Amino acid sequence: MKIVHVETGRHLYGGAQQVAFLLDGLQRRGVDNLLVCPPDAAIGRHFAGSPVRVAPVSCWAGDIDIAFALRLRRLLETERPDLVHLHSRRGADVMGAWGVHLAGLPCVLSRRVDNPEPRAWARLKYRLHDRVIAISHGIAEVLCAQGVPREKLRVVRSSLDPKPWQRPETRADFAVQFGVPEDAVLIGVIAQLIPRKGHGVLFEALRHLPQRKRVRVICFGQGALREKLQRQAATLGDTVRFAGFRDDLPRWMGCLDLVAHPAWTEGLGVSLLQAAAASVPVLASRAGGLPEAVADGRTGLLVDPGDVPAWTEALARLVANPDLRRQLGARGRDRIEHEFSVDAMVDGNLAVYRELVAGPE
C-alpha cells in the first residue's frame, strides 16, 4: 500500500507529532509513505534520511491557495498512491482535498479540533473526503451535528510514546531552570497562548486561591496573547512564569505537581496525555474531547469551562492534598500505557485505509 500524507504545519507540535508517530508505525508495517510538507517544516527535517520520503511543497496562502491544489495534483499524478491522508487544517483540508479530487484518488482527513464550522460550509466541505478520522468522540459528535454523515466518520484517538516522559530531571534542577522555589506547588500549563486555551480563567482562579503564595504556575507555549497574558499575570505577583515553547519538555514534565488545562474547546489534549505518562495529575475543562483524555476522579479532575469558582475550588483541593495528586498521577500513567498506545493509533488509521483500498494483511 502506498500512501501520500499531507501535513502543512511548520512546527512539530501535537498534530504533526502524531503524524510522525503514524508514519513511523506504518513504515514498520510495510506501508510505502510519502510526506508532503512545506519546505521549512520541522516534520520534514525529522524524516530526513529515513525510509519515509519527503516532498517539499509550498502552501503559503492556506485555504485560498489554489496553486497548492494544482501542485499537489501534479505530484499525485506522478506518484499514483492508493490514497491520500490529509492531516492538518490550514490549506490541507480544502485545497489539499481539491488536489486529491482532481487526481481522482480516495481522500482521508484527520480532524483534531472541535470548534464548530457553519453547517452549510461543513456539509459542502466534507463531501470532498471519503473518510474523516476524528481523534475523539467529542469531535465526531460536533461533526455529526454539523451534518457530516455518521457513516463517513471514524474515531481513532491520538497516541503517545510514554517512555520519554518517564525520565524527568530532578526537582532542584527544575527550580534552577525556571526560577521557582523548589518547595513550591508547581502547576504547568502546556498550551499555545491563544484565546481558546483559557489561560485567563486559570489566572482569575489563582486570584482567589487561598494557598496562592505556595503555588508557582509555569506557562509553556507561545502565541499571540503573550503580552496580554503577561500583563494579566503581573497582577498576581510572582505566581506565574512564561517559559515559551520548549522542545525539551519531556525532561521537565515529571517535575510538576499538576497540569492545568482551562481550555474552552479542545479536540483531545495531547499535552494531557503527556502529563499522565509522566505520572502528573491533570485539572482540565469538561469540554470537547478532554473527558476522554482525563478520567474524572481517576486520573484527574474536570471542571466546567469558564467556571472560575469551580476552578478555584478544584485547585485548592489539589494543592492541599499531595496524596490525592500522587494517586491520580499513578492511575494516569497506567491508563496511558493501556489505552493510548502508538500501536493502537497506527492500527486504527490502517484499518480506515483498508476500508478504501485493498492493503496488505
Reported as a single tens digit per residue, the pLDDT across 79-99 is 999 999 999 777 688 899 999
* Nearest Cα to Cα of residue 187 among 56, 311, 4, 93: 311
Instruction: Give pLDDT tens digits for 281-303.
Output: 999 999 988 999 999 999 999 99
Residue among 246, 241, 257, 109 at smallest CA distance from 183: 257
The whole-model pTM stands at: 0.79
CA distance 153 to 132: 5
DSSP 8-state class, residue 136: S
**pLDDT tens digit string along 151-166?**
999 999 988 889 999 9
- pLDDT tops 60 at residue 330: yes
Cα(256)–Cα(169) distance, integer angstroms: 11
Give CATH for domain 163-339: 3.40.50.2000
Task: Select from 320, 303, 335 the least CA-distant residue to 159.
Answer: 335
Residues 171 and 232: their CA atoms lie apart, in Å, by: 27
Instruction: Give the chain's count of helices (H) and strands (E).
Output: 15, 13
Range(s) of the chain covered by CATH 3.40.50.2000: 2-159+341-356, 163-339
Cell of 328: 491520580
Which homologous superfamily does the CATH classification assign to the domain defined by 2-159+341-356? Glycogen Phosphorylase B; (3.40.50.2000)
